[in-house]
Structure 1
Amino acid sequence: QFMEFFNMEDMDSKPQHRDFDDLSHQPKDQQKSFLLDIIQKFMKYFGYGLLETPHLIPRRNEYQERVEKRSTILVNGQQFIIQTSEEKTCYKEEDEVYNYCMLLCHWYLHVIEMHDTAKEGDIHRAVLNCKYAIPFFYSHSKLSKYLVENVNYVLQTEHLLSPLQSLRVLEGSFVNTIGGKGKCVESDLVQEHSVCNQKSLIRSLGANKTEKSISRATASADAIAEICSQMDNCLQIKPKSGRHSKTVSVNDQIIVSRELRKIRPFQYISGRKCQGFSSLHPIPVTTENVPNMKDWINHLIRRLTRGQVVPVEEEEDEEEQDDWEED
């Protein structure tokens, strides 16, 4: 995106942006203000940070066309022709590649923002992230349970709870289990890992297990999991992970970068197709869907405030499905 914004062909080429000047001879304060201004223009150009005001996000598929109109009037039996012109909004054919890549970047930036917030245990950004995540979950499904959780979290911490109780909820959202700066994790994630450790021990008990045996086996589930992890580390056994075990090599990055520059995913080219992602938009919620989203959020707020049940999608837990298959 930066190369597209600065009109650069590759990482070694010189930026051709009209506002970009040589800063080597400028003082540091002027360089800093110039770079901040460029970053703001970059974010505005691609619509970052404007999800709450989607009408400000530039639309690449729209263009204005002047249409000439002629009308005839009669004055005292004489015929006059009046010619007027007006601008009409026209729409190009959608660029599905551009829409997919832009939406992917919006999701990615928000995910790493939430990840950084959790690492720092920042209670101030926690509520802001929940508010900013609402359009993302609404675009996925208005019955998403994560949408309800975000709305409920903001509603409780900002309005319904007392200041002291709200602070307790915010501070209890993160926990630091190993110490050190930037080592916080989400409290519910720690609880999920603990439940996962307990389930693995319960499975090992086999059939005909009693409640007392389950309680005895799972009392130190986290300590047992830590011992097993240290043992695997000593034996150089790699743990199961959802991330890549090896970093991407520099050569692979160069190859991918060259291919992306050929495709130009962030340059709007009308008519390009992206198979399987034809219904995506470059932003999570378009301007036309904002009124519907606001109505649905108000509906959720009314039900949550009254303590009523909110309908959500039923998502089958993978671990519960594994338990069912084993049984």
Structure 2
Amino acid sequence: MLHFKANNECSKYAYEIARLLVHQFCILSEKEACEEFFGMFVNTTGKENAHIPCDLKMEHIVKDIKSNIKHMFSNKTDQNITNRSSALPVIKAVSEAFDDVTGVIIRSKRHTRTSSLHDEAEMIKDIHQIQPFVYKAGRKHLLFPNVPKQMTCDLDEKKYHTWIETQKYKFATDLGN
């Protein structure tokens, strides 16, 4: 949270982290905290430990919708887009069932090289040349001359603590407390 706030004064990520921490450790009961946490994930396969974040699932849905809209070509009316988008799960289920029945084999793409040894050796050679973990005064990356060594160097601590204090009241009233 500190890094997000130091990097961007109005970071939505810092706000969301603070909100989650306040809810989890201060405001909500243990049961409500568990419900809130597990509400951030969805299990798409029904198997144990197969949860993915809800926002990632939403990205998959948006990708599927965009793919279907792309293949509508000139037939893109609001009604057609609505119909096709609402039918996406059924379209996917029917196409997967058809592939199973007809025995379609989806081949995975293969790498040209099966071994990563060559790539790892190249990386190790580069690391030995650059020596990134050895201190050298004044060393900076050529493409990022203005980036500080630590993001927290630019952090105004007084402003940061004031921001946290103002957020406390928002979080407390957020759930009607």
Partner of 1:157: 24
| 1:151 partner amino acid | A
Return the alpha-carbon distance in structure 2 between the equivalents of residues 256 and 299 of structure 1.
47
Structure 2: segments with no counterpart, 5+ residues:
none
Which moved further from structure 2: 151-160 or 218-227? Answer: 218-227
- Deviation track 1:159-193 (CA, whole Å, cap 9, x = no partner) reads 33344322211122223322445432112221232
- Deviation track 1:26-75 (CA, whole Å, cap 9, x = no partner) reads xxxxxxxxxxxxxxxxxxxxxxxxxxxxxxxxxxxxxxxxxxxxxxxxxx
- Deviation track 1:283-312 (CA, whole Å, cap 9, x = no partner) reads 4424964443332232333344445xxxxx
1:300 aligns with 2:151: no
1:172 aligns with 2:172: no
Which structure is richer in relative contact order (CA contacts within 8 A, separation 6 or more)? 2
Structure 1: segments with no counterpart, 5+ residues:
1-133, 239-243, 308-327
1:189 aligns with 2:60: no
* Paired residues of 1:175 and 1:184 also in contact (CA < 8 A): yes
3-state DSSP of counterpart to 2:78 = coil
User: Which of these residues, 130, 137, 141, is aligned with residue 274 of structure 1?
Assistant: 141
User: Which of these residues, 59, 64, 76, is aligned with residue 207 of structure 1?
Assistant: 76
1:263 aligns with 2:114: no
Return the alpha-carbon distance in structure 1 between the equivalents of residues 130 and 34 of structure 2.
48
The CA deviation at 1:264 is 1.1
Change (3 A) 1:203 1:166: same
Return the alpha-carbon distance in structure 1 between the equivalents of residues 151 and 91 of structure 2.
43
3-state DSSP of counterpart to 2:68 = helix
Return the alpha-carbon distance in structure 1 between the equivalents of residues 89 and 112 of structure 2.
24
Partner of 1:216: 83
Which has more radius of gyration?
A: 1
Q: Aligned residues: percent identity? A: 23
From the two aligned structures, give the one with the greater helix fraction: 2
From the two aligned structures, give the one with the greater strand fraction: 1
* Paired residues of 2:43 and 2:51 also in contact (CA < 8 A): yes
The CA deviation at 1:269 is 0.7
C-alpha RMSD of the superposition:
3.4
Return the alpha-carbon distance in structure 2 between the equivalents of residues 147 and 247 of structure 1.
41
1:145 aligns with 2:16: no
How many residues align? The count is 165
The CA deviation at 1:262 is 1.9
Return the alpha-carbon distance in structure 2 between the equivalents of residues 246 and 300 of structure 1.
52
Change (3 A) 1:294 1:223: farther
The CA deviation at 1:270 is 0.5
Return the alpha-carbon distance in structure 2 between the equivalents of residues 294 and 168 of structure 1.
29
Change (3 A) 1:207 1:259: closer
Partner of 2:105: 234
Partner of 1:285: 152
TM-score where L is the length of structure 1: 0.42
TM-score where L is the length of structure 2: 0.70
Return the alpha-carbon distance in structure 1 between the equivalents of residues 141 and 105 of structure 2.
47
- Deviation track 1:76-125 (CA, whole Å, cap 9, x = no partner) reads xxxxxxxxxxxxxxxxxxxxxxxxxxxxxxxxxxxxxxxxxxxxxxxxxx
